[in-house]
Structures are given as structure tokens and as C-alpha cells.
Chain A
Amino acid sequence: MKIRLIRNDDAEACNALHNKFSHNKRSLDQWRWDFDNGLYETDQLPFAVADDDGRIVGTQAFIPIRFIDREGVYWTAKSEETLVDPDYRGQKLFDRMYELLFDYAKERDLRYVWGFTPATKAFLKLGFKIPCATEQLLFPFHADGISNLIESRVLVGRTVSTADRLKMIPYRIGAVGARLTASAKLGLARGAGLIGDSLDTRIVETAPDGCGELCRRFVDLYGGPTVYRDEAYLNWRIFGNAYTKPIMRAAFERDTLVGWVIYSIGDEEVGYIVDVMAAPPDESSISSEDIVKRLIVEALDDLRRTGIVAARGWSVTAHPFDKLVREISTSLGFFHVRRGHAVVVLGSTPEYHDPLEDSFSDWYVTRIFTEGVAG
């Protein structure tokens, strides 16, 4: 068994392994979008494989992502594509692939390795920290849709009996109540007024100028590491997305980009608030709160008209802007649901390792941190 980094001719076999065990139909173009997208200039992709005499039986990858904080921009690595053929479990392939990638991260100064997973045990053994789990912000559009969604999860694979139907009654009542509450809150917030003429919001077809600049203003205002969403990043992650085409609604004040909301629609007829950013310049007369409120209301209006069941966003840390988005969202009718996947983080060197657990609450994390399959 050889643990090595990927070669050019391995892409097809790696993708086939993923499709075999995840029952997906990911195309090679989609694989390339994820792992070989050219944003990180390198002669060797950070993609480890377990090679059993020419057969790929395990994969573990990093997607290099740039972060920004008050000290500047730097590279990090998102953990992705953790996969070991069940016939080869118990051989520590996961650990061995990760060892190779940790060396890669140290050599290339990829400061943090991070990801989201329901399977935390293996990551803890490798020294990863679990500072928190992702939490959800949920806006219900349709009571019946929500209860159908719950039923499809709760009663999956079962013949629905009368007892099951009775059990679902509280869910149905709850869904109706949630729907009515959300609508009422949104109506009241709208009635209280949204920021008007001085803010120009529009859907953009490519990343507008000033995205990187807005990120700099954002960390100056709110601090914390977050993904550096410059034009190149957004043109890859959003506008060149190989799975779905998220919508970016940007807000401008006198032609200066001051914020955006990015949203998409998933296959299960749920909308996703992928990202929210706002950072008006010092001289601006508009607050971040007003920008966020208007952008989220417009995103909800857009999503509601498509007939989807609900809209979902993330709330993950105590970062001041995460708190601001959460407060505005709940005032608009979103429900804060404390369920999600664990966040796993590890500094690639001791220098970045020690303070990490405490400082993770400074990170601003949205769904843009995900792989992007659902936006």
C-alpha cells in the first residue's frame, strides 16, 4: 500500500471512488472545479491517495482557501474528500494520508486545516479540535412543505401507519405555527421600513469590483478570520460553481460595494443563504444593520416566489457580524435551530495550534465555507 500525493492521471480514479461510495454522479469537471481550480498556484495538488498496487482505495484532500484577518491575507486548507474503501478500513489509511497532507500544509504555510463533519472521532484522534457545531437559521415558507420534509426524514423507508400519522400531528401544528410566526415577523419588519433610495441593490452576473476591498473593511470593522472573498474567489466559488448557480445580490452606495447576500436553491426545494457580508466605508450614512436587513428581505422575497419550502442559513460563532446577522434574521422571522455538523479545526504548526480553540469564536463562518454543492 502506497500513500502518495495525486498525479495528473489519478483524477478519474479518485472521482470514481467518490461516486462508488457516495452514490453520486459527480463529473470530472465537477471534481476539477473542487480540487484543481487554479486558484492556488501549485505544481502539486494537496490531494493524498492510498494506492494499492495501482488501485486508488482511499482519498483525503485539502482545498486551499485564502483567509483574511486584520494582519492580512493567508492560505488555509479545507478538509475534503475523506474516503476509504470499506475493504481497507482498520489500516490507518486516513491517518497516513493526513500525515502526508500535514507535511504539505507545513511546507506551504497553509495556516489552518478545517472542515465540517458528522464523524468526529477520527479527526479527534488526529489532534483536531471541535470548537463548536454549525447551527441553522430557518425561515419556513410553507407549512405543508415543512411537515412533509420532516415526515420524509422521520418516516424514511417505512410504510406509514395510522400511529405514524398521529405522531406527525404535533409536527404539522408546529409547522403551521412557525409559518404564521415567520410571516408575521417579516411583515412587521417590512412595515417598520427598509433602507431605501440611498442603497442600490442588484443581482450581479460576475463578482463586482471591490469585493476584496470590502473584505478588508469588514475585518477592520468586525475583526476575525474569514474567507477572503475577493473577485477571483467569488468568480470560482459562486459564478463558476460546477453544481449550482448561486445568486449574488450586491448592495452599492454611490457605486461603492457595501455588502452582499448570496443565495441558492437546493434539490430538496430548500433555499440556502450562502453568504452575507456588509461593511460600509467610514463616510457612509448607512449602517451594516440596514444593509443586511434589506439584503435578507430581498433574498427571502426572491426565494419565496420560487415556491420552495424554506430558506436556511448558518449561524456558527460569536463573531460580532455573525451575531448581527442572527439577530436581524430572527427579527425577520428566521428560527434559530441548534443542529448541525461539528466544526473541526487544527493549526498546521504549534504557532497556530495553541490559541486556536479560544480564538475560533472570532471566525466569521457562513455556508460559503462549504464545498458548494448546494450553493
Chain B
Amino acid sequence: MDPRAKYLCTQILRHAHVFFSERANTTLTNTDIRFVPLDTARALRRSCIAIPTDLERRHDYADTYEATVAGAKFRLCHRIPRPDDHEWTAFPSDAAPVWYVHESGTRLPAWDLFGTLFSLLTLEYERAFAERDQHGRFIAAFDPRSKAGLLEQPLFNDAVFLLIAEALRLREGEGALSSIADEVNPPALILSHDCDVLRGNDFWTQSIRLGRVLLPLTRLKAPRLDNLWWAARNAVRPRDFYFDNTPGLVTLERTFGYRSTFYILNGTGGRFGARSGSKLLAPLIGAIPDGWEVGIHYNYDTHLDHDRFSAQQAELHQITGGTVPTGRAHYLRFDPDKSLPFYRDHGITLDESVGYPDRIGYRAAVGGCYRPYDRQSEREMDMWEVPMITMENTLLAQYGDQSLTAFSSLLDHLAAVGGALSLIFHPGLFYNPEFRSHRRLYHRMLRIGRDSGACGWTARYLTTLAASAPTIAANIGEGERT
């Protein structure tokens, strides 16, 4: 079997295992699904799902269309023309097809399911673009999916839902779609907190406040004098609204039955570094109870630098008294080619860095978790990625007053198609009168999660569930079967 197809199949099965019922999983694994060249797929004459693997790879997303299946809406891209042969019909409609169905029972996706998902999940897609921002990052502004309105569409989750729906339709007939909502497990919120600033009186935080007072004057605008109050207050009580928010986050999550991961920033200081130093880290980690997790927030200057990364890890391991195999990059500095193998080489088994700092959305097209693809061995890596989808600042900057509606709509979609929505909330923004727009935002987001029936898991817990999935089903393959 094509190793790329084998890889994608395995990730699909892992995802289905977590977010779909046992019945849906049984149907998926008992359905004849083939990854074959387009010509072979078109020539098949049997009851199966045939997924073409040799379509020309496209990195444009200008041509998208909306389709509705079982009441759920999908935006699809990279449409495949319907085979000329009149024996093929489009489902659900010619105008917005999801599948082409042959009289013999063969199903062909109406869009490049394999190529699109493989390219996005493995970040192969990003290699086609040379632009990087001042921090060396590929950001949403460079991603054509932003303009196409596809960044908030979890194409991988959608594809797995559509695949399961079609497998059910194939095996049980049209009526199977009416009850497919029962086959989708509740969505999950994957909660985490980047502990960037623990004291409100560090040099950089106070300088920024001073800048907010003085800079408007240079533009003949009124100074923001409230910053003097926040500077004075934190000068006297540095932990207020920063370090002290950690137990508050835990208490609030506890009242929802939710858990989260705290990413600890240590190592080099400076504006982009660990501004608060390392003295508060031991009490901070001590305040994180059992059931919540601690991860490493890879410092800005450790990006692809083995020595600095090792030094940061060594310091954190010394503070925690053990290894910390979970992490996320500070400023989301991430190289699509090198970062994941780099983390793996340093003993990181779970990373949460694949996300955009400038827009919310599904950078790797998935709301959930997957094992990254190793291009050299053409196999999945021995580590997990849980992509970062929403961050409080990005959400507010993008949606303002409509932030909660946008968040709710992401979660509603995942409730319909299955998946997990990850959310970063910085402790210093959780309950801090200096940032009024953030006030009570986290509580409201958790309420939206609870009202959607969402579970609140750590990334580690999610991957533990996914790890128990079957790796590859006997029926999924290529070519003729006997």
C-alpha cells in the first residue's frame, strides 16, 4: 500500500476511534475502502469507496463550494469532474457534489480528499510558500485558505464524517443518514495556558505600560493614564492578576469538570523570552493539582537551537523533578519541515505548536490530534500533534464583540461532525482588570463548551484515547481484493 495512503488511513481511524460511536467505527472498518489511481477508481465496478491518490497537487483554494449532508454544512475544495460515463450520479447534488456514485456501487469522492488532507496534515502545503513574518513564521496572512474562508473549516474532520456517512449509506441505505448524529461523540475542548508572564512588574511589562502612556502623546492623542495605575499596582503586588490567576483558572475549570495543561516558560529573559525569570516556577508548578498537566513552553531563542533547547529542558526538569514531554512554542515559532523532528529528538512526545498567531483556525485542517508524518521514513512519527486552533487574543482581534458567537459556531460544527477544539487562554488575561475585553471571557467560553456537551480534556488525555485505536484496518488498501 502507498505509505502516504497508509499514513492517512491510520490518522482517519485514530480520529474516528475518539469521535465516533462503536457502530460507526465498525461500519468504517468493514467497508471496502481503496486508495487507488483515479483511472483505477473510475474503472472499479463493485460496492466500495475508491479514493484517488494521483491527482495533481493544488495549493490554491479559490474554487470552493458548499455542500450539505445530513443537515451539516461543508465547504469543499479541489473539485473532481464527474466521470463522463452516464452511469455515474452525483450525491447529494450535481451542483454541490460530495460523492460520485456508480451504478455498481463504487463511490468516488467529488473532491481531492486524499491530496488535500495529506498536504495539509503533513504541512507539505506550507512548503510551497516562501513568505515568513519577522519571527520566521508562516502565518495565516500567507495562507490562501484565509482569503477563501477555509481556515475555520476542519477539512480533515469533515472528510472523516463524510466518509463514515457514506460508509453507512453504502451498507445500510439512504435512511442511515437520518440518524448519523447519534454516531458522533460529543466534541472536546482541549484547554491550555501559556504561562508567559507571572509577575506584572517585570521590566518589559512595565515599559510597555509606560509606552501606552507616552506614545499617544507623540500623535497628539490623550495618554492612557490608567496604565500608570496598573504599573503602580503591580510594582507593589507583582503577582496580582498574573501568577495568582493560576489557581483561579484551575478552580473555574474544576467547576465544569474540565482539565487543562499549563505551559511553563523558562530560560532566557528579554522581551520575547521568559520575562518573569524562573524563581516563581516551583510555586507555580506546585499550585497545579493532579489531573492538570505541566508542559514546556519552548522559549523564543530555542527555536531549532539544540543547545538552548536542551538547557531550557534541563532547567525545567530540575524544577519539576522529572521529564516534561509535552510542549508548545512561545510565539508559535514553528518550522513545518524541521520543528517536529527537532522536538521528537529532544524527547517531546506531544506538541501543541501547529497553529496560527494571527487568525484562529485549523492550520493542519484538523480539530483533534494526529501523529505527524516523517518524510524520510514515510511513516508516522513516534509523537503526537494537537494543533492549536483558538487563542483568546486572536479571537478578540478577529471577531471583537462577535467573538463568542464565532467560538460557538466552531464548536457547533465540531459537535455535528466530531472533533476537538483547542483553546489557549493566558493566565495574565484570564482575570485582569487591565484587560477589560478579556474579563469573564474564559468563563463564557467554558459555558459554551458545557452547553454544547463538550468534554474538557488535556491534550495528553486526547492522545491517550487516540492511541488505543486500531492502526490500520484489513479492508483498507489498494488494488484488487480476493
Contact = CB atoms under 8 A, between A and B. Distances in A.
Contact of A269 (B254, B256, B257, B440): B440
Interface in B40-99: none
A125 interface: no
A305 B431 contact: yes
A187 to B, nearest CB: 13
Given A302-B247, A307-B431, A307-B443, A265 B451 contact: no
Interface in B221-252: 244-245, 247-249, 251-252
Contact of B252 (A25, A246, A267, A306): A306
A203 B289 contact: yes
Contacts of A302: 247-248, 251
The residue in A25, A246, A264, A308 that gathers the most chain B C-beta atoms within 10 A of its C-beta is A308
Nearest to A247: B254
Contact of B257 (A245, A267, A308, A375): A245
The residue in B248, B256, B291 that gathers the most chain A C-beta atoms within 10 A of its C-beta is B248
Interface string A177-212: 000000000000000000000000001010000000
Given A25-B451, A247-B251, A265-B252, A306 B443 contact: yes
Interface in A225-283: 244-247, 264-265, 267, 269
A129 to B, nearest CB: 35
B439 interface: yes
A56 interface: no
A244 B257 CA distance: 8
A126 to B, nearest CB: 36
B447 A306 contact: no
A167 B367 CA distance: 49
B111 interface: no
Interface residues of B, number: 20
A306 B257 contact: no
Nearest to A244: B255
A154 B256 CA distance: 30
A203 B440 CA distance: 24
Nearest to B248: A305
Main secondary structure of the interface of A (DSSP, over half): loop
Nearest to B443: A269
Contacts of B161: none
Contacts of B443: 265, 269, 306-308
A244 B431 CA distance: 21
B362 interface: no
A303 interface: yes
A313 to B, nearest CB: 16
The residue in B291, B431, B451 that gathers the most chain A C-beta atoms within 10 A of its C-beta is B431
A246 to B, nearest CB: 7
A94 B245 CA distance: 49
A306 B451 contact: no
Given A247-B251, A269-B443, A306 B256 contact: no
A319 B255 CA distance: 29
Contacts of A205: 291
A305 B430 CA distance: 10
Given A247-B254, A265-B255, A267-B447, A306 B289 contact: no
A245 B250 CA distance: 13
Interface in A100-115: none
Contact of A264 (B255, B430, B439): B255
Interface in A332-359: none
Interface in A141-192: none
A148 to B, nearest CB: 11
A192 to B, nearest CB: 22
B432 to A, nearest CB: 8
A264 B249 CA distance: 14
A268 B107 CA distance: 50
Contacts of B430: 307
B440 A303 contact: no
Interface in B429-465: 430-431, 439-440, 443, 447, 451
Interface string B247-268: 1110110111100000000000
Contacts of A304: 248
Nearest to B290: A205
Contact of A247 (B245, B255, B431, B447): B255
B244 A305 contact: yes
A247 B291 CA distance: 15
Nearest to B442: A307
Nearest to A264: B255
A269 B256 CA distance: 13
A246 B255 contact: yes
Contacts of A246: 255
B251 A303 contact: yes
Contact of B439 (A245, A265, A303, A307): A307
B255 A305 contact: no
B303 to A, nearest CB: 33
Contacts of A247: 251, 254-255
A314 to B, nearest CB: 19
A203 B290 CA distance: 11
Contacts of B252: 265, 306
Contacts of A265: 251-252, 255, 443
The residue in A205, A267, A305 that gathers the most chain B C-beta atoms within 10 A of its C-beta is A305
A162 to B, nearest CB: 23
Contacts of B451: 25
A305 B256 contact: no
B259 to A, nearest CB: 11
Nearest to B438: A307
Given A267-B447, A269-B440, A307 B248 contact: yes
A147 B219 CA distance: 36
Interface in B251-306: 251-252, 254-257, 289, 291
A305 B439 contact: no
B256 A245 contact: yes
B251 A306 contact: yes
8 contacts: A25-B451, A245-B257, A246-B255, A247-B254, A305-B251, A306-B248, A307-B431, A308-B443
Given A203-B289, A305-B431, A306-B249, 19 more contacts: A25-B451, A205-B291, A245-B255, A245-B257, A246-B255, A247-B251, A247-B254, A247-B255, A267-B447, A269-B440, A302-B247, A302-B248, A304-B248, A305-B248, A306-B251, A307-B248, A307-B430, A307-B431, A307-B440
Interface of B: 244-245, 247-249, 251-252, 254-257, 289, 291, 430-431, 439-440, 443, 447, 451
For the complex of A and B, 8 pairs with smallest distance between CB atoms: A305-B248, A307-B431, A245-B257, A306-B248, A306-B252, A265-B255, A302-B251, A306-B251
